[in-house]
């Protein structure tokens, strides 16, 4: 395990008796996270597109960032959100992607993806469910980080694509104001994106 | 920052030069969590009500003694909800609330909304799904924590803006006769740098 330092150039951290400080693999060092509702066009496109607070197809993708990542540390990420299918008859299948960038956001690489079925409800019933995708512990080196030329940051963003179903009927459901007979405003949304740095 | 010890009686951690140990933002210092089944009164009302072993009775709370205004706190609530009707479209809201005065007053910190559909067949086939709410990293000072705060409490409310008094919180005690069920209701409350 790498020595733990207060800063890249700082001295190794020890306990007061002088022994090396060691955590187990997966102990979290840092966390960055974000939650957001999705306004605008929340219809999931057939071609996977970026999840943004103001809908798909925009430049302001929801992104979480950790500065000064290390090759020898591990990183994990998770996206959770609600999906909704408004079709009476057509089944939907949504693929979620987690993408990582170590060059400040110029290029992203897909590091995890999975698929989620969402059934139609019939007779104008909207079916909704939660979906998640995880990027389990991956070493910084495996993500392309080289301590000899350390990147300034590691960034994670997410995409969603509708691989089965009818565009315009399957949505991300992350409301700022609920529906229903007694609407609730000021909601934080169901979209939650997090990135951890771990030993 | 307070000295960090490997155990309550352990030595204060320091770096090699003797300076204080300072992990990055989001490193977890403490975790408090709870799970529960929900018994008889599991009908979700329109008006948000705290989640406990039953709705509308003694509620579950996670307690973080001696919080620090300079540290950050995050919470996650997960549970299953169920729509047993054949014709009522449901929508439930989850709320995370915190208290810095021992539970006398509560402040809403996060909320979100989830659709819970019904089936259009009779007899009714209950449909259930998982719902989740996250309160992301928030400074203790933002939550009202001061140097004199003795505890930071967290609880969760649930209400149905549509389908109220029809939808159910599904956290059964004995699914399939299994008496060891912990329920689907899960609260996680973290203190982080």
Chain B residues within an 8 Å CB radius of A66 = 24
- When pLDDT is cut at 50, 70 and 90, the band that residue A1 belongs to is very low
Looking at residue B29, its pLDDT comes to 84
Residue B8 lies in a domain: no
Q: How much is the average pLDDT of A139-159?
A: 96
A157 near A99, Cβ under 8 Å?
yes
Q: How much is the average pLDDT of A189-195?
A: 98
Task: Give the residue from A16, A81, A183, A186 with the most B CB atoms within 10 Å of its CB, the best one to mutate.
Answer: A16
A63 near A157, Cβ under 8 Å?
yes
Q: Report yes or no: A185 at the B interface, CB cutoff 8 Å.
A: no
Q: DSSP letters of A81-94?
A: EEEEE--SS--EEE
Nearest CA in chain A to B128: A129
Looking at residue A45, its pLDDT comes to 97
A171-183 pLDDT, tens digit per residue, is 999 999 998 778 9
| B70 to A33, A48, A196, B29: CA distances (angstroms) | 18, 40, 20, 13
Cα distance between residue B84 and residue B44, in whole Å:
12
Among A71, A66, A197, A196, CA closest to A142: A71
- When pLDDT is cut at 50, 70 and 90, the band that residue B107 belongs to is very high
% pLDDT > 90, chain A: 73
Query: Which of A15, A181, A189 is closest, CB to CB, to B112?
Result: A189
At A33 the three-state DSSP class reads strand
* B39, pLDDT greater than 90: no
- When pLDDT is cut at 50, 70 and 90, the band that residue A7 belongs to is low
Cα distance between residue B100 and residue B107, in whole Å:
9
* A19, pLDDT greater than 90: no
A107-143 pLDDT, tens digit per residue, is 999 999 999 999 887 777 788 999 999 999 999 999 9
- When pLDDT is cut at 50, 70 and 90, the band that residue B5 belongs to is low
Q: How much is the average pLDDT of A39-46?
A: 93
Chain A residues within an 8 Å CB radius of B22 = 6
Residue B177 lies in a domain: yes
Residues 6+ apart with CB under 8 A from B61: B103, B153, B154, B155
Task: Tell the CATH topology of A28-175+186-198.
Answer: Jelly Rolls (2.60.120)
Residue B1 lies in a domain: no
Contacts within 8 Å (CB) and 24+ apart, A107-115? A108/A155, A108/A157, A109/A143, A109/A144, A111/A77, A111/A135, A111/A138, A111/A143, A112/A77, A112/A136, A115/A163
* B6, pLDDT greater than 60: no
Residue B103 lies in a domain: yes
B59-94 pLDDT, tens digit per residue, is 999 999 999 999 999 999 999 999 988 888 899 999
Cα distance between residue B91 and residue A21, in whole Å:
49
- When pLDDT is cut at 50, 70 and 90, the band that residue B12 belongs to is low
Q: What is chain A's mean pLDDT, rounded?
A: 89
B51 near B186, Cβ under 8 Å?
no
Looking at residue B1, its pLDDT comes to 44
% pLDDT > 70, chain B: 82
Q: DSSP letters of chain B?
A: ----BSSTTSPBPEETTSPBP---TB-EEEEEEEEE---S--BPPSS-EE-BSSTTSSBP-EEEES--TTSEEEEEEEEEEEE--SS--EEEEEEEEEESSTTSS-EEEEEEEEEE---SSSS---EEEEEEEEEEEEETTTTT--TT--EEEEEEEEEEEESTTT-EEE--SSGGG-TT---SEEEEEEEE-
Chain B residues within an 8 Å CB radius of A6 = 15, 19, 21-22
Structurally, chain B folds into a number of domains equal to 1
Burial letters for B33-48: b for 16+ Cβ neighbours within 10 Å, e otherwise? ebbbbbeeebbbebeb
CB pairs under 8 A between A and B: 152
Among A142, A91, A56, A35, CA closest to B136: A35
Looking at residue A93, its pLDDT comes to 94
CB neighbourhood size of A154 (10 A): 27
A136-148 pLDDT, tens digit per residue, is 999 999 999 999 9
Residue B46 lies in a domain: yes
* B147, pLDDT greater than 90: yes
- Asked if this assembly's ipTM is beyond 0.85, the reply is no
Chain B residues within an 8 Å CB radius of A197 = 24
Q: A34 to chain B, minimum CA–CA distance in Å?
A: 6
Chain B residues within an 8 Å CB radius of A30 = 23-27
**What residue spans define the domains of chain A?**
28-175+186-198
More reliable by pLDDT, B157 or B173:
B157
* B37, pLDDT greater than 70: yes
Pick from A115-129, A155-169, B7-21, B148-162: least confident: B7-21
Looking at residue B58, its pLDDT comes to 85
CATH number of residue B79's parent domain: 2.60.120.40
Q: What is chain B's mean pLDDT, rounded?
A: 86
Looking at residue B15, its pLDDT comes to 55
pTM of the model: 0.86
Q: Could you tell me the residue range of the domain that residue B186 belongs to?
A: 28-192
* B125, pLDDT greater than 60: yes
């Amino acid at each position: 395990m790498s020595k733990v330092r207060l800063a890249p150039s700082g001295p190794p951290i020890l306990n007061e008796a002088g022994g090396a400080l060691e955590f187990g693999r997966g102990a979290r060092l840092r966390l960055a996270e974000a939650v957001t509702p999705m306004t605008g066009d929340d219809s999931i496109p057939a071609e996977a597109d970026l999840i943004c607070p103001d809908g798909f197809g925009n430049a302001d993708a929801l992104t979480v960032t950790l500065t000064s990542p290390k090759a020898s540390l591990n990183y994990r990420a998770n996206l959770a959100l609600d999906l909704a299918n408004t079709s009476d008859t057509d089944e939907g299948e949504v693929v979620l992607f987690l993408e990582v960038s170590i060059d400040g956001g110029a290029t992203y690489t897909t590091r995890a993806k999975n698929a989620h079925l969402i059934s139609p409800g019939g007779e104008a019933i909207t079916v909704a469910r939660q979906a998640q995708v995880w990027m389990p512990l991956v070493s910084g080196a495996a993500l392309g980080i080289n301590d000899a030329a350390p990147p300034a940051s590691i960034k994670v963003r997410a995409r969603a694509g509708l691989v089965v179903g009818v565009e315009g009927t399957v949505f991300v459901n992350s409301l700022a104001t609920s529906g229903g007979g007694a609407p609730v405003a000021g909601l934080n949304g169901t979209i939650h994106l997090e990135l951890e740095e771990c030993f | 920052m307070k000295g960090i010890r490997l155990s309550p009686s352990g030595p204060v951690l320091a770096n090699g030069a003797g300076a204080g140990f300072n992990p990055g933002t989001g490193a977890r210092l403490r975790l408090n969590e709870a799970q529960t089944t929900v018994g008889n009164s599991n009908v979700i009302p329109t008006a948000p009500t705290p989640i406990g072993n039953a709705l509308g009775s003694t509620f579950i709370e996670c307690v973080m003694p001696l919080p620090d205004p300079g540290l950050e706190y995050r919470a996650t609530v997960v549970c299953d909800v169920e729509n047993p009707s054949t014709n009522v479209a449901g929508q439930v809201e989850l709320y995370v609330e915190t208290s810095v005065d021992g539970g006398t007053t509560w402040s809403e910190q996060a909320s979100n909304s989830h659709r819970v559909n019904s089936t259009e067949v009779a007899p009714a086939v209950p449909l259930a799904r998982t719902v989740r709410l996250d309160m992301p990293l928030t400074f203790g000072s933002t939550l009202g924590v001061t140097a004199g705060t003795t505890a930071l409490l967290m609880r969760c409310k649930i209400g149905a803006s549509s389908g109220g008094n029809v939808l159910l919180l599904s956290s059964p005690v004995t699914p399939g006769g299994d008496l060891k069920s912990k329920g689907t209701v899960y609260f996680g409350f973290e203190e982080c740098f």
